[in-house]
Amino acid sequence: MEEGLDCWRLCDELSVIQAALLIAGCDPSSDATYVEGWEAYKWPAGYAAAKTAISNALRRGAIAGQLVPIYEAGADGDTRKSVDESIDIENSRIEVESLRRWLAGRGLKTGFFFPEEHDFADYLDREHARYAPKLAAAVEAWRAMENEAAITGKTPKQVLVKWLREHAAKFGLADEEGKPNELGIEEVAKVANWQPKGGAPKTPGQ
């Protein structure tokens, strides 16, 4: 099984189904053709969540690739039209390197797409004796910006603050009722901000 999986590392692009199966630790060579025909309870553990997350990320541009919509017959029975907000998970394609960065930005740094032992640093390990929540928050927020489509038209600090608010509880930046600690978030955002002098926001690629 492992040798078969290794061959998939040659691919620069994958379908949503193939990528989701690889994240779940399954070989698309044997499962990709049939998995969507199985009843959901027979799907590999993690497949449904991975498929949904990848589809949503591709749809909003957080993962680079080619989105192919689902088509249906028009009123005349011949003309095909795309279904709004749909995605053909078999024929759509995602770029593997973009997927890898997206996964790392969400804290998933092991498994098929990370074959080598990466040094993702003890300072991100919650069990480490010197784990510092604000340091971890700054690093994770900075990494998450790699595929943050919402950064267009906004300053880095604005997007960092937004991300930190959404993940405040994970890093001890919220009170018992879940209310974000705005002062703490501002401090962390300053550390992660790669454009501290401000200025007009740049669009990706500039």
Query: Is the Cβ–Cβ distance between 152 and 203 less than 8 Å?
Result: yes
| Token pair belonging to 118 | 């990466």
Q: Domain residues for 71?
A: 2-105
Which tens digits make up the pLDDT trace of 141-166? 898 886 554 556 788 899 999 999 99
Query: Is the Cβ–Cβ distance between 173 and 164 less than 8 Å?
Result: yes
Q: Is the pTM of the predicted complex or chain greater than 0.95?
A: no
Give the chain's largest Cα–Cα span.
Answer: 68
Residue 34 sits in the same domain as residue 80: yes
Examine residue 40 and state whether it is found in any structural domain, yes or no.
yes
| Token pair belonging to 63 | 């993962």
Residue 13 sits in the same domain as residue 58: yes
Per-residue DSSP letters for 8-58? GGG-SEEEHHHHHHHHTT--HHHHTTTGGGS-GGGSPTTHHHHHHHHHHHH
Examine residue 101 and state whether it is found in any structural domain, yes or no.
yes
pLDDT in tens for each of the 206 residues of the chain?
455 677 888 899 999 999 999 999 888 987 877 888 888 888 988 999 999 999 999 998 889 999 998 888 766 666 577 788 889 999 999 999 899 888 888 888 788 888 764 555 677 777 778 889 999 999 988 988 865 545 567 888 999 999 999 999 889 999 888 899 999 999 999 999 988 886 555 544 44
DSSP 153: T
Residue 100 sits in the same domain as residue 126: no
Count of structural domains, the chain: 2
Residue 26 sits in the same domain as residue 88: yes
Q: Which has the closest alpha carbon to 62: 151, 128, 122? A: 151
Q: Phi and psi (nearest 5°) for 79?
A: -65, 130
Residue 17 sits in the same domain as residue 97: yes
Return d(Cα 51, Cα 62) in angstroms, integer.
14
How far is residue 18 CA from its own chain's centroid?
16
Residue 145 sits in the same domain as residue 178: yes
Residue 43 sits in the same domain as residue 89: yes
Residue 74 sits in the same domain as residue 151: no
Final residue belonging to a domain, choices 78, 105, 132: 105
Final residue belonging to a domain, choices 80, 105, 130: 105
